Amino acid sequence: MRIFENLEAFLQKLSVEAKQMDLKSEIIPEKLPKHIAIIMDGNGRWAKQHGKPRVFGHRNGVKAVRETTEAAAELGVSYLTLYAFSTENWSRPKVEVGALMRLLVETLHKEINTLNKNNIRLQAIGDISLLPEATHRALLKGIENTKDNTRMTLVLALNYSGKWDIAQATRKLADQVKEGVISPADINEDLLAQSLSTHAIPDPELLIRTSGERRISNFLLWQLAYSELYFSPVFWPDFRKEQFYQAIIDFQRRERRFGKISEQLV
Protein backbone atom coordinates (compact mmCIF):
# COMPACT_ATOMS: atom_id res chain seq x y z
CA MET A 1 0.00 0.00 0.00
CA ARG A 2 2.77 2.36 1.07
CA ILE A 3 4.57 1.83 -2.26
CA PHE A 4 1.44 2.89 -4.16
CA GLU A 5 0.98 5.95 -1.98
CA ASN A 6 4.60 6.96 -2.57
CA LEU A 7 4.26 6.29 -6.28
CA GLU A 8 1.12 8.40 -6.44
CA ALA A 9 2.84 11.28 -4.64
CA PHE A 10 5.83 10.95 -6.98
CA LEU A 11 3.63 11.00 -10.10
CA GLN A 12 1.71 13.98 -8.73
CA LYS A 13 5.01 15.83 -8.19
CA LEU A 14 6.15 15.02 -11.74
CA SER A 15 2.88 16.30 -13.17
CA VAL A 16 3.13 19.58 -11.19
CA GLU A 17 6.71 20.05 -12.38
CA ALA A 18 5.77 19.33 -16.00
CA LYS A 19 2.95 21.91 -15.81
CA GLN A 20 5.35 24.42 -14.27
CA MET A 21 7.89 23.90 -17.07
CA ASP A 22 5.16 24.35 -19.71
CA LEU A 23 4.02 27.62 -18.14
CA LYS A 24 7.59 28.85 -17.68
CA SER A 25 8.30 28.31 -21.38
CA GLU A 26 5.33 30.58 -22.22
CA ILE A 27 6.97 33.56 -20.49
CA ILE A 28 8.59 36.03 -22.90
CA PRO A 29 11.92 37.10 -21.32
CA GLU A 30 11.95 40.47 -23.14
CA LYS A 31 8.58 41.38 -21.64
CA LEU A 32 9.36 40.36 -18.07
CA PRO A 33 8.26 42.90 -15.43
CA LYS A 34 11.31 44.44 -13.74
CA HIS A 35 9.42 44.84 -10.48
CA ILE A 36 6.61 42.64 -9.14
CA ALA A 37 4.79 43.51 -5.91
CA ILE A 38 2.67 41.03 -3.99
CA ILE A 39 -0.06 41.35 -1.36
CA MET A 40 0.23 37.97 0.35
CA ASP A 41 -3.33 37.39 1.53
CA GLY A 42 -5.33 34.45 2.84
CA ASN A 43 -3.04 32.92 5.48
CA GLY A 44 -5.76 33.06 8.14
CA ARG A 45 -8.47 31.54 5.94
CA TRP A 46 -6.08 28.82 4.77
CA ALA A 47 -5.36 27.91 8.41
CA LYS A 48 -9.08 27.86 9.22
CA GLN A 49 -9.70 25.52 6.28
CA HIS A 50 -7.14 23.19 7.83
CA GLY A 51 -8.71 23.52 11.29
CA LYS A 52 -5.58 25.23 12.66
CA PRO A 53 -4.79 28.56 14.36
CA ARG A 54 -4.01 31.57 12.14
CA VAL A 55 -0.29 31.38 12.90
CA PHE A 56 -0.18 27.99 11.16
CA GLY A 57 -1.20 29.85 7.99
CA HIS A 58 1.60 32.40 8.40
CA ARG A 59 4.15 29.61 8.96
CA ASN A 60 3.05 27.91 5.76
CA GLY A 61 3.09 31.29 4.03
CA VAL A 62 6.87 31.29 4.41
CA LYS A 63 7.06 28.33 1.98
CA ALA A 64 5.27 30.45 -0.60
CA VAL A 65 7.66 33.34 0.08
CA ARG A 66 10.62 31.03 -0.52
CA GLU A 67 9.22 29.54 -3.72
CA THR A 68 8.10 32.88 -5.17
CA THR A 69 11.47 34.48 -4.42
CA GLU A 70 13.24 31.56 -6.10
CA ALA A 71 10.95 31.73 -9.15
CA ALA A 72 11.39 35.50 -9.52
CA ALA A 73 15.19 35.28 -9.28
CA GLU A 74 15.35 32.37 -11.74
CA LEU A 75 13.29 34.32 -14.28
CA GLY A 76 15.43 37.44 -13.96
CA VAL A 77 12.97 39.78 -12.20
CA SER A 78 14.99 42.65 -10.67
CA TYR A 79 12.74 43.61 -7.73
CA LEU A 80 10.21 41.59 -5.76
CA THR A 81 8.29 43.48 -3.06
CA LEU A 82 6.25 41.56 -0.49
CA TYR A 83 3.65 43.18 1.78
CA ALA A 84 4.59 41.35 4.97
CA PHE A 85 3.11 43.64 7.66
CA SER A 86 0.96 46.71 7.16
CA THR A 87 0.54 49.68 9.48
CA GLU A 88 -3.02 48.42 10.03
CA ASN A 89 -1.84 44.92 11.03
CA TRP A 90 -0.90 46.22 14.53
CA SER A 91 -4.60 46.09 15.38
CA ARG A 92 -4.67 42.28 15.08
CA PRO A 93 -4.77 40.20 18.29
CA LYS A 94 -1.58 40.65 20.28
CA VAL A 95 -0.66 36.95 20.08
CA GLU A 96 -0.86 37.00 16.29
CA VAL A 97 1.29 40.15 15.99
CA GLY A 98 3.85 38.65 18.37
CA ALA A 99 3.91 35.35 16.47
CA LEU A 100 4.34 37.16 13.14
CA MET A 101 7.24 39.21 14.50
CA ARG A 102 8.95 36.09 15.87
CA LEU A 103 8.36 34.28 12.58
CA LEU A 104 10.07 37.13 10.76
CA VAL A 105 13.12 36.88 13.03
CA GLU A 106 13.25 33.09 12.61
CA THR A 107 12.83 33.29 8.83
CA LEU A 108 15.43 36.03 8.44
CA HIS A 109 17.96 34.00 10.46
CA LYS A 110 17.23 30.85 8.44
CA GLU A 111 17.15 32.38 4.99
CA ILE A 112 20.02 34.89 4.94
CA ASN A 113 22.49 32.24 3.78
CA THR A 114 20.14 31.19 0.99
CA LEU A 115 19.74 34.81 -0.09
CA ASN A 116 23.52 35.19 -0.19
CA LYS A 117 24.03 31.92 -2.07
CA ASN A 118 21.54 33.14 -4.65
CA ASN A 119 23.02 36.64 -4.84
CA ILE A 120 19.77 38.27 -3.62
CA ARG A 121 19.80 41.59 -1.78
CA LEU A 122 17.33 42.23 1.04
CA GLN A 123 15.79 45.65 1.59
CA ALA A 124 12.86 46.98 3.59
CA ILE A 125 10.33 49.77 3.22
CA GLY A 126 8.13 51.09 6.01
CA ASP A 127 8.74 52.58 9.44
CA ILE A 128 10.91 49.70 10.61
CA SER A 129 12.20 51.61 13.65
CA LEU A 130 8.83 50.85 15.30
CA LEU A 131 9.20 47.07 14.93
CA PRO A 132 10.06 45.08 18.08
CA GLU A 133 13.77 45.30 18.84
CA ALA A 134 14.61 41.69 17.84
CA THR A 135 12.77 41.98 14.51
CA HIS A 136 14.36 45.34 13.76
CA ARG A 137 17.81 43.97 14.58
CA ALA A 138 17.38 40.79 12.47
CA LEU A 139 16.17 42.88 9.57
CA LEU A 140 19.06 45.36 9.71
CA LYS A 141 21.49 42.43 9.92
CA GLY A 142 19.89 40.78 6.87
CA ILE A 143 20.03 44.02 4.90
CA GLU A 144 23.68 44.61 5.84
CA ASN A 145 24.76 41.01 5.12
CA THR A 146 23.22 40.98 1.65
CA LYS A 147 23.89 44.55 0.56
CA ASP A 148 26.43 43.66 -2.14
CA ASN A 149 24.22 41.09 -3.91
CA THR A 150 23.20 42.02 -7.43
CA ARG A 151 20.92 39.40 -9.00
CA MET A 152 17.61 40.53 -7.48
CA THR A 153 16.36 42.78 -4.67
CA LEU A 154 13.79 41.34 -2.29
CA VAL A 155 11.95 44.22 -0.63
CA LEU A 156 9.94 43.50 2.53
CA ALA A 157 7.22 46.04 3.29
CA LEU A 158 7.05 46.09 7.08
CA ASN A 159 5.02 48.49 9.16
CA TYR A 160 4.32 49.98 5.74
CA SER A 161 1.36 51.77 4.27
CA GLY A 162 1.03 53.84 1.12
CA LYS A 163 -0.51 56.77 3.01
CA TRP A 164 2.35 56.68 5.54
CA ASP A 165 4.86 56.77 2.66
CA ILE A 166 3.25 59.80 0.99
CA ALA A 167 2.95 61.58 4.35
CA GLN A 168 6.60 60.99 5.27
CA ALA A 169 7.72 62.15 1.80
CA THR A 170 5.61 65.32 2.18
CA ARG A 171 7.17 65.94 5.60
CA LYS A 172 10.68 65.64 4.13
CA LEU A 173 9.83 68.15 1.41
CA ALA A 174 8.25 70.54 3.92
CA ASP A 175 11.46 70.39 6.00
CA GLN A 176 13.50 71.19 2.89
CA VAL A 177 11.27 74.18 2.14
CA LYS A 178 11.63 75.34 5.74
CA GLU A 179 15.42 75.06 5.52
CA GLY A 180 15.39 76.99 2.25
CA VAL A 181 16.86 74.06 0.23
CA ILE A 182 13.89 74.12 -2.16
CA SER A 183 10.95 76.41 -2.78
CA PRO A 184 7.29 75.25 -2.92
CA ALA A 185 7.35 75.80 -6.70
CA ASP A 186 10.09 73.14 -7.01
CA ILE A 187 7.75 70.43 -5.72
CA ASN A 188 6.59 68.20 -8.57
CA GLU A 189 5.91 64.49 -9.10
CA ASP A 190 9.60 63.65 -9.57
CA LEU A 191 10.67 65.36 -6.37
CA LEU A 192 7.91 63.69 -4.39
CA ALA A 193 8.81 60.29 -5.87
CA GLN A 194 12.43 60.87 -4.82
CA SER A 195 11.30 61.33 -1.22
CA LEU A 196 9.26 58.12 -1.07
CA SER A 197 10.74 55.07 0.64
CA THR A 198 10.92 53.46 -2.81
CA HIS A 199 13.04 56.27 -4.34
CA ALA A 200 15.72 53.81 -5.50
CA ILE A 201 13.26 51.24 -6.86
CA PRO A 202 11.33 51.44 -10.16
CA ASP A 203 7.53 51.37 -9.86
CA PRO A 204 6.05 47.84 -10.05
CA GLU A 205 4.65 46.91 -13.45
CA LEU A 206 2.64 44.10 -11.88
CA LEU A 207 0.79 43.78 -8.57
CA ILE A 208 -0.41 40.33 -7.52
CA ARG A 209 -2.91 39.83 -4.70
CA THR A 210 -3.84 36.35 -3.55
CA SER A 211 -6.96 34.95 -1.85
CA GLY A 212 -9.54 36.38 -4.25
CA GLU A 213 -9.69 39.80 -2.56
CA ARG A 214 -9.60 42.72 -5.02
CA ARG A 215 -8.22 45.68 -3.11
CA ILE A 216 -4.96 47.62 -2.85
CA SER A 217 -5.31 47.91 0.95
CA ASN A 218 -3.09 50.96 1.43
CA PHE A 219 -0.09 49.28 -0.26
CA LEU A 220 2.11 51.22 -2.72
CA LEU A 221 -0.55 53.85 -3.52
CA TRP A 222 1.66 56.26 -5.46
CA GLN A 223 3.84 53.62 -7.08
CA LEU A 224 0.93 51.50 -8.39
CA ALA A 225 -0.52 54.34 -10.50
CA TYR A 226 0.10 52.44 -13.76
CA SER A 227 0.64 48.89 -12.55
CA GLU A 228 -1.33 45.97 -13.92
CA LEU A 229 -3.35 44.27 -11.19
CA TYR A 230 -3.66 40.47 -11.03
CA PHE A 231 -5.91 38.73 -8.53
CA SER A 232 -5.31 35.06 -7.81
CA PRO A 233 -8.02 33.02 -6.08
CA VAL A 234 -5.40 30.91 -4.29
CA PHE A 235 -4.68 31.51 -0.57
CA TRP A 236 -1.08 32.66 -0.05
CA PRO A 237 0.22 29.43 1.60
CA ASP A 238 -0.82 27.54 -1.57
CA PHE A 239 0.81 30.05 -3.96
CA ARG A 240 3.53 28.30 -5.96
CA LYS A 241 5.64 28.81 -9.10
CA GLU A 242 2.70 27.70 -11.23
CA GLN A 243 0.47 30.57 -10.00
CA PHE A 244 3.35 33.05 -10.22
CA TYR A 245 4.03 32.12 -13.85
CA GLN A 246 0.29 32.37 -14.63
CA ALA A 247 0.24 35.95 -13.28
CA ILE A 248 3.21 36.92 -15.47
CA ILE A 249 1.73 35.28 -18.57
CA ASP A 250 -1.53 37.16 -17.97
CA PHE A 251 0.44 40.41 -17.55
CA GLN A 252 2.33 39.80 -20.82
CA ARG A 253 -0.95 39.40 -22.74
CA ARG A 254 -2.18 42.84 -21.67
CA GLU A 255 -1.67 46.04 -23.63
CA ARG A 256 -0.22 48.75 -21.42
CA ARG A 257 -1.29 52.08 -22.90
CA PHE A 258 -0.31 54.62 -20.20
CA GLY A 259 -3.17 56.90 -21.28
CA LYS A 260 -2.40 56.60 -25.01
CA ILE A 261 -4.43 54.75 -27.66
CA SER A 262 -3.39 51.39 -29.19
CA GLU A 263 -2.23 52.88 -32.51
CA GLN A 264 0.21 55.19 -30.73
CA LEU A 265 2.04 52.27 -29.16
CA VAL A 266 3.56 50.73 -32.31
Of residues 195 and 197, the one with the C-beta less far from ligand FPP: 197
* CA–CA separation, 250 and 197 (whole Å): 29
Calculate the dihedral angle through the C-alpha atoms of 260, 263, 265, 266, rounding to the nearest 10 degrees. Answer: -170
Q: Tell me the residue type at 215.
A: R
Is residue 41 part of the annotated active site? The answer reads yes
C-alpha to C-alpha distance for 48 and 63, rounded to whole angstroms: 18
3-state secondary structure at position 191 = helix
What is the rounded CA–CA span in Å between residue 59 and residue 184? 47
Nearer to ligand FPP, 130 or 265 (CB): 130
Give the interface segment with ligand FPP, choosing from 35-43, 119-127, 130-138, 216-224 (CB under 6 A).
35-43
Residue 26 has a CB neighbour count (10 Å cut-off) of 12
Q: Which residues of 67-86 are buried (b: 16+ CB within 10 A; e: fewer)?
A: bbbebbbebebbbbbbbbbb
> Among residues 6, 22, 41, 145, which one is catalytic?
41
Stretch of residues binding ligand FPP (CB under 6 A), selected from 101-109, 129-137, 177-185, 243-251:
101-109
The interface mask with ligand FPP, positions 189-228, x = CB under 6 A, is: ----------------------x-----------------
Between 40 and 79, how does the x/- string for binding to ligand FPP read (CB under 6 A)? xxxxxx------------x--xx--x--------------
**Which residues are at the interface with ligand FPP (CB under 6 A)?**
40-45, 58, 61-62, 65, 82, 84, 89, 103-104, 107, 156, 211, 236
Give the residue numbers marked as catalytic.
Answer: 41, 89
